[in-house]
Amino acid sequence: MGEALGLIAVLIIIIMVILASCIVIVPQANAYVLERLGGFHATWQVGVHFKMPIFDKVAKKVLLKEQVADFPPQPVITKDNVTMRIDTVVFYQITDPKLYVYGVEYPLLAIENLTATSLRNIIGELELDETLTSREIINSKMRETLDIATDPWGIKVNRVELKNILPPAAIQDAMERQMKAERERREFILIAEGKKRSAILVAEGNKESIILEAEAEKESSILRAEAKKEATIREAEGNAEAIRSVQLATADGIRYLNESSPSTAVIHLRSLDAFEKAADGKATKIIIPSEIQGLAGLATSLLEVVKEDKE
């Protein structure tokens, strides 16, 4: 009886172990490919699943996260026959676990070989300088090529990057010399442009100085001319004022003379004074009117009578 109970207990334990092994929990970002009797049966996603003992088997556990494959440098030849080594990095993601499991044997090896072949084809159409300056174009073409080729394998290539481009040592030395010469050329250009700019600034400064001097001289000439003009105007105004004063004095004299009603003899005597002033000892001939001549003779006679009386 005891042996029977022990056997039952062992059987119960075995059944429990078998049942426990039939419970499968699929974690996040994973997928399990299930086979039944050696053939594909289902793809399990995240959660709890049950499988039939003996008949069902988890053929492959597939990671659905984006993965990175860093491939070693591959030798390639450019269009101008320069051999270089390029290593690439491929970012891919499994989108169909069934195709990934049954599509190709050793998927990573297949991607690596496909990457090397595509890289050789693309670089073979480019020269060295184009290869060094066209990374984005090369990355885009390789991603497109790999994505199309890996689609039947349930793999999507999200991004391809050229990690390093290693030309031969001789090419590197030539490139370094070229870069050095280019830097020196740029330095000389900058120095020449600086000197040119300096000369331009000096010339512009001299030009502005000459212009300012000319403008100052012009302003000075204008001021001198205006001052001379003002002095001339003031002098003319002074002369005009003097003439006006003389004319006023003359007019006053004539008015006073008219008011005093002078006799004819006085007028003739004033006329003689005027002729005397007009002659001023310089004139050689003076024409005197006849009426003034008679008056002059009378004046001379009067002077002679006065002298006789004094004697």
pLDDT digits (tens, 9 = 90+) for 69-105: 999 888 998 888 888 899 999 999 999 999 999 988 8
CA distance 228 to 300: 55
Would you say how long the chain is, in residues?
A: 311
CA distance 18 to 12: 10
pLDDT at 289: 55
Question: In this structure, are residues 88 and 162 in contact, taking their beta carbons and an 8 Å threshold?
Answer: yes
Question: In this structure, are residues 132 and 166 in contact, taking their beta carbons and an 8 Å threshold?
Answer: no
Phi-psi bin for 61: left (phi > 0), alpha (psi -120 to 50), beta?
A: beta
Per DSSP, the three-state class of 24 is strand
pLDDT digits (tens, 9 = 90+) for 258-306: 666 655 655 555 555 555 555 555 555 555 555 555 555 544 554 454 4
Per-residue pLDDT of the chain (311 residues; tens, 9 = 90+): 667 777 788 888 887 887 777 888 999 999 999 999 889 999 999 999 998 888 889 999 999 999 999 998 889 988 888 888 999 999 999 999 999 999 888 999 999 999 999 999 999 998 888 888 888 999 999 999 999 999 999 999 999 999 888 888 877 787 778 888 888 888 889 888 888 888 898 888 888 888 888 888 888 888 888 888 888 888 877 777 777 776 777 667 666 656 666 556 555 555 555 555 555 555 555 555 555 555 555 445 544 544 455 45
* CA 222 to each of CA 190, 214, 217, 281: distance values in angstroms, whole numbers, following the listed order: 47, 12, 8, 48
State the helix-helix crossing angle for 135-150 and 107-123, rounded to 10 degrees.
140
Per DSSP, the three-state class of 47 is strand
CA distance 173 to 169: 6
Q: Backbone phi, then psi, for 174, in 5-degree steps?
A: -65, -40
pLDDT at 303: 46
> Locate tokens 């005093």: which residue?
260
pTM: 0.55
* CA 107 to each of CA 104, 160, 191: distance values in angstroms, whole numbers, following the listed order: 6, 16, 58
